[in-house]
Structure 1
Amino acid sequence: MSYKNFPMVPRVIFGRGSFNQINDVLAPKRSSIHAPFIFLIDDVFKNNAWLTSRINLSYDDRIIFVSSKEEPKTTQVDELVEDIILKSKERPSGIIGIGGGSLLDLSKAVALLITNEGEAHDYQGWDLVKNAAIYHVGIPTISGTGAEVSRTTILTGPKLKLGINSDFTPFDQVLLDPELAKDVPKDQWFYTGMDCYVHCVESLNGTYLNEFSKTYGEKSFDLCKEIFLDGDLSEEESQDKLMMASWHGGMSIAYSQVGVAHAMSYGLSFLLGVKHGIGNCLVFDHLEEFYPEGVAIFKQMKAKHSIELPTGICAKLTDEQFDTMIRVALSLEPLWENAIGENWKETITPEKLKGIYKKI
């Protein structure tokens, strides 16, 4: 049997206030005075000196503020790469992504496309990237997606929503500062946290499960229950634990896979632009058949935090639109194989998926 040899993030800093070390971390990585560091930062921090004032720009370094209102697109990656290459005298010393999962995924993709010819959509799939990315750093400002640790970067392309899954994708350095998540709105905190929770449920109930994935998945699952169900945690404790749950949840799927909720949420996102976290929640709410215990706990968490999911999202869709979502969902074959097994096509039919989508 041949075992997969997955890369991990080689260097990690964790701690409240650790963002203050960003300049010391980057300094040894500068390749020349003409090779800038490019900071891709969620534009919610555009007028937030509390964060940006701690970044010391030198020489030709740039901050590019990027909106995370929509899921990252392959065309957005291509535009950023072209802009960075045209405005840099030399290949950049590194890409630093600061924000939620969308910004982290965008940063990983940009770092890859600077060293690989063609367009981002050419690399959507598994192990299509030929050259190592330039140095890239991930700094999450919201916890749950696992994007800080994963070997994929989820992008919406012209035909599919699909990750660039590659050994060259993971960050070279991650900086985990729970203080950066202090101003996250409650709904967003819940939806992104549930992305982490769903990672764990899908990993722990999947056919790809192994002790490596199980160890990380169980820890993340327990942390999610502590944060969203059991606990009388302080705000700081909750931030610290969710950042660790996100890391462990991301690790739990590194050596296995996600499942039904993620596959179907990609369809929602591709057609309707539904954000990933809420998309997972919208689908997972109707997946008792696949994850009975996980869905029951999810509904308890939802009630505890007074979260009401939107309804009628798919009420007015045409058959053609349903077919588009189903096509995108079914294209994610490793997710279905993990969720159901090798013979998943015998039970997962377009009609079955359409029935679930109609409930949303």
Structure 2
Amino acid sequence: MFRNFKMVSQVVFGRGCFNQLSDILSVQRKKGASFAVFIVDHIFENRPLRDRIPAEGRDMVIWADTTDEPKTTEVDRLTAMVRAQANSLPDAVVGIGGGSVMDLAKAVSLMLTNPGSAADYQGWDLIKNPAVYHAGIPTLSGTGAEVSRTTVLTGPVKKLGINSDHTVFDQIVLDPDLLEGVPTDQWFYTGMDCYIHCVESLKGTYLNAFSQAYGEKAMALCREVFLGDPPDREDKLMMASYCGGMSIAYSQVGVCHALSYGLSFVLGLHHGIGNCVAFDVLEEFYPDEVNEFRRMMEKHDVRLPRNLVQGVDDKGLEKMVDVALVLEPLWENALGKNWKTIMTRDKIRQLYRRM
């Protein structure tokens, strides 16, 4: 049976379109004691964007600390905060920030309508009830979180997304102006998440014409941005992120992302840099693309941290392997149905020891 793919319902794109957010939310607002929730990256707490957030009345603005990767415990804490605000659900949950903030917003919108802890829903299609209306506004580009059906969370025993059709945003606002001023390393690592999405989708066994069409366009845009010097690089990278996210939505990622999850769980590496650290040792699987990735690093004078796994004890290393092996769809996409004969625990250990 073919998959009935859920997409973002409404999209607005263009420089300055963030200013339309108030009008967009006005359609969702109810009269009386209703409210909206804005979950915003804490780096904007003392920046001009703070004064542009269209909060009104009883609305909540929550400054999300993105020092660490999103955790199920943080989702539970934020959900409890929102529930304590009123006896009713909010009209909207809005995430403004990078992939971490958008994942938090998606997760909170889900947990407001589903019982228990976010950790209970780490997996595929475990969510039963539709989420509160939720919108995403990326201030970084590359993760594809704005279009994905997952919210990636670190739980008590694993790093795994809440994968559900209910996770997908109802609205996204893509304003390239919001990408201005991002530090080069952060811009690069987040953008490489998109590049790696494309590599793993286009090289995967799940590839089909739908994912290929989006993946090839995203890859072309990434090459323009990271190997060229286009004047509209923010616009192109924002669309690369969108198309890259769409590509993996109807296929899957692969070896790099599976290994990156283990790095993040044990070492606390953010997703983008974790992907780069992992990808740099994967010449065996993606030889041409790893070489191209290294040329991109050289062009932008980005230097990866090295020898990160040297100080990890055997228990930590085994946990990395455990976390990576949970992600069976990723391995199957990368290596085929017999992937377990190729990607043994020992093979994964060897790859980690090179990082």
- Shorter-chain TM range is over 0.9
* 2:306 aligned with 1:311: yes
Q: Which residue of 2 aligns with 1:17?
A: 16
Deviations 1:228-249 (A, max 9, x none): 01x2312xx0000000000000
- Secondary structure class of the residue paired with 1:29: coil
Alignment partner of 1:274 is 2:275: no
Per-residue CA deviations over 1:43-79 (Å, capped at 9, x if unaligned) read 000011x212222322210110011111000000000
CA RMSD of aligned residues (A): 0.8
Instruction: Show structure 2 runs of 5+ residues with no match.
Output: none
Residue 290 (1) aligns with residue 289 (2): no
Alignment partner of 1:331 out of 302, 307, 326: 326
Residue in 2 that maps onto 1:246: 241
For the residues of structure 1 that align with 2:86 and 2:20, how far apart are their CA atoms? 25
The total of aligned residue pairs comes to 355
**In structure 2, what is the Cα distance between the partners aligned to 1:54 and 1:195?**
28
Q: Distance in 2 between matches of 1:19 and 1:297?
A: 34
Cα separation, 1, equivalents of 2:181 and 2:68: 20
Q: Does 1:257 align with 2:252?
A: yes
Task: Say which SS state the counterpart of residue 310 (structure 2) adopts.
Answer: coil
Give distance in 1, aligned partners of 2:127 and 2:323.
22
1:78-117 correspondence to structure 2 within 5 Å: 78-117=76-115
Q: Distance in 2 between matches of 1:217 and 1:285?
A: 20
Tell me the distance in 2 between the aligned counterparts of 1:162 and 1:33. 38
User: Which residue does 1:340 correspond to in 2?
Assistant: 335
Measure the CA separation in 1 of the matches of 2:9 and 2:323. Answer: 33
- Per the alignment, residue 62 of structure 2 pairs with 64
Of 111, 117, 120, the residue aligned with 2:118 is 120
Does the residue aligned with 1:53 lie in a helix, a strand or coil? helix
Letter in 2 for 1:216: Y
Give the percent of matched residue pairs that are identical in Structure 1 and Structure 2: 57
Whole-angstrom CA distance in 1 between matches of 2:33 and 2:271: 37
SS in 1 for 2:304: coil
- For residues 150 and 127 of structure 1, the distance between their equivalents in structure 2, rounded to whole angstroms, comes to 14
* Per-residue deviation, 1:319: 1.2
Task: Give the counterpart letter for 1:75 in structure 2.
Answer: T
TM-score by length of 2: 0.99
CA distance in 1, matches of 2:202, 2:149: 19
8 Å Cα contact 1:75-1:120 kept in structure 2:
yes
Contact 1:197 1:220 in 2 (8 A): yes
SS in 1 for 2:165: coil
The runs of 5 or more residues in structure 1 that have no matched partner are none
Distance 2:81 2:204 in 1: 41
